[in-house]
Amino acid sequence: MGTVIDAANKEANGSLLTDKKVTVVFVLGGPGSGKGTQCANIVQHFGYIHLSAGDLLRAEIKSGSENGTMIQNMIEEGKIVPSEVTIKLLQQAMEESGNDKFLIDGFPRNEENRAAFELVTGIEPNFVLFFDCPEEEMERRLLSRNQGRVDDNIETIRKRFKVFMESSLPVIEYYDSKGKVRKIDAAKPVEKVFEAVKVVFTPSGDQVAV
């Protein structure tokens, strides 16, 4: 994987991203926490570009590129795609967008992702938007909206929750220790959740009395 890492480092060091002030917000939350809906609202109201690590990997596979074939083979073999591969795709998407404000959704998935992102890009997130939602509520939402989907039976859903808790919570705890986590109560109705999100993204948000 050295070539991918080298390429990613080279791109970061001479990239457009290092030439301007870039705002990055990591968006984390369990499956069914409503991240996608709220990211769409943030894009519409605050002019961010929404990047989903999973979507970028799927698009790369679909493109039929050599990189895409490698990613597909790793997924089929049950292996985890190396952080550097995902980071390289995120970097490319950020540079090609021409924007300087990004929501990175569903990444970093674990501590290794987090450390690699900061090392390769030289970018620390401004903050982490964490959609905190009880497992029972996420389960209810997934079952009601995805009836009939094979990957959304109870066992699979609970497995996804477990993976999220084990992998992503250390990332949230790390950034929380740096005062960078903005926790949103995602169990409320969509409109109420967005009201809380708006406070976080409004420049005077830190001074708003809650």
Q: Domain containing 175: what range? A: 2-199
* 141 known member of a binding site: no
DSSP at 15? S
On whether residue 92 sits in a domain, the answer given is yes
10 pLDDT more than 50: no
Q: What number of residues does the chain have?
A: 210
CA distance 105 to 129: 9
7 pLDDT more than 70: no
Q: What is the pLDDT of residues 134-150, one digit of tens each?
A: 888 988 888 887 655 55
* 188 known member of a binding site: yes
**Which pLDDT belongs to residue 204?**
65
* 149 known member of a binding site: yes
On whether residue 207 sits in a domain, the answer given is no
**Which pLDDT belongs to residue 142?**
85
* 109 known member of a binding site: yes
On whether residue 206 sits in a domain, the answer given is no
* 98 known member of a binding site: no
As for how many domains the chain has, the answer is 1
Query: Mean pLDDT, to the nearest integer, of 181-209?
Result: 84
Write the CATH number for 115: 3.40.50.300
Q: What is the pLDDT of residues 19-46, one digit of tens each?
A: 568 999 999 998 889 998 999 999 999 9
* 54 known member of a binding site: no
CA distance 112 to 81: 12
* 123 known member of a binding site: no
On whether residue 210 sits in a domain, the answer given is no
On whether residue 209 sits in a domain, the answer given is no
Q: Record the tokens describing residue 62, joined without a space.
A: 């679909």
Distance of CA 202 to the CA centre of its chain: 21
On whether residue 139 sits in a domain, the answer given is yes
208 pLDDT more than 50: no
Residue of 101, 106, 158, 163 lying closest to 131 (CA atoms): 106
Query: Mean pLDDT, to the nearest integer, of 181-186?
Result: 95
On whether residue 134 sits in a domain, the answer given is yes
**Which pLDDT belongs to residue 5?**
41
* 145 known member of a binding site: yes
DSSP at 205? G
Residue of 83, 84, 102 lying closest to 16 (CA atoms): 102
Contact 1, 84 (CB under 8 A): yes
Quick one: which H or E segment has residue 28?
strand 23-29
Q: What is the pLDDT of residues 64-112, one digit of tens each?
A: 999 899 999 988 887 878 899 999 999 999 999 999 999 999 899 899 9
Q: Is 149 helix (H, G, I), strand (E, B) or coil?
A: coil
Distance of CA 141 to the CA centre of its chain: 20
* 140 known member of a binding site: no
On whether residue 131 sits in a domain, the answer given is yes
Contact 161, 135 (CB under 8 A): yes
**Which pLDDT belongs to residue 81?**
85
* 36 known member of a binding site: yes
